[in-house]
Chain A
Amino acid sequence: MNTVFLIAALGLLVSTAIAMVRVVGGPTVLDRIVGVNVVGAQTTILLILIGYLFDNISMFLDIAIAYAMLNFILAIGVTKFFLRRKSARGGGGGEEH
């Protein structure tokens, strides 16, 4: 059973790496924000899979939930930044590199 979880975790890590391509090389900041969100969502699931690998799912479930919440807060914080910047400059905030 552990092999199944390990293979699933490795597959998720591969897809995380694909999302990281957007985070590292994304042309605009918005690409990076969406990329980080995807990475955060995948790491939440990865944490639970690691919990299964350690046979201690209850401990890892808490941290996974906190993780998902932080991912959400991060997205809200960054988008608020964009909202204010846009209203201050009258649009065109998404082109910064």
Chain B
Amino acid sequence: MIWQLDLFLLTLVVVCALATITVRGLLSATIIFAAYSFLMCLLWAEMGAVDVAFTEAVVGAGVSTIFFIATLFRSTTRSRLLIRGVDDPHHFKDQGWKMLPLMLSVVTGMLLFFGMADFPAWGDPESRPNTHVSSYYIENAVRETQVPNLVTAVLGDYRGYDTMFELVVIYCAGVSVVSILKQENL
């Protein structure tokens, strides 16, 4: 973790997030959200979590942006606020409804902040996962799972339920690759 880069990146991320929720056009919001994802990916990579960064780049910046744009194809790019105008009598009724998600987000954020206090320090070698679970995996993985690769053993066996749907996704990707290659041969 390099604190100079951290400070700069976090500032840019916060600016991006604020711009996403305040900008009026939905296409603009989508594009700023893509920039947000790019910066988040950079932040993960800078913390050394390259796999998370990769997922964030593919899912956050790539797929979800394309999904958003595909949705905008079939609807309007204007938000409801812009169509009706602020002086519309329905506007304040909508504002009342918006208070509920705002309160929920604030409460959830505060709970997460409280939970953060229990975390070990970043990269702490004495933390619980590093002292208990990792050594257990290293000592017993081959004997218990018969998988020669430790990472595969942890992801596929010990965290099987966690990774189940990722495996489904990989299976679907493999099936589609095979079907595309088969069409090429015809």
Residues of A with Cβ closer than 8 Å to B? 6, 9-10, 13-14, 16-17, 20, 23-24, 26, 29, 32-33, 35-36, 39-40, 43, 46-47, 50, 53-54, 59-60, 62-63, 66-67, 70-71, 73-74, 77-78, 81, 84, 96-97
Which 7 A-B pairs have CB atoms at the shortest separation, nearest pair first?
A24-B19, A70-B62, A13-B8, A32-B31, A97-B25, A36-B35, A77-B66
Residues of B with Cβ closer than 8 Å to A? 2, 4-5, 8-9, 12, 15-16, 19, 23-25, 27-28, 31-32, 34-35, 38-39, 41-42, 45-46, 48, 50, 53-54, 57-58, 61-62, 65-66, 69, 72-73, 77-78
Contact assessment for A67 and B41 in the assembled complex, using a CB-CB cutoff below 8 Å: yes
Chain A residues whose CB sits within 8 angstroms of the CB of B27 once the complex forms: 29, 78, 81, 96
A interface secondary structure, majority: helix
B interface secondary structure, majority: helix
Contact assessment for B9 and A13 in the assembled complex, using a CB-CB cutoff below 8 Å: yes
Chain B residues whose CB sits within 8 angstroms of the CB of A36 once the complex forms: 31-32, 34-35, 38
| Given known contacts A66-B58, A96-B77, A78 and B12 CB-to-CB distance under 8 angstroms | no
Docked complex Cα distance between A14 and B4 (Å)? 12
Chain B residues whose CB sits within 8 angstroms of the CB of A46 once the complex forms: 42
Docked complex Cα distance between A39 and B45 (Å)? 16
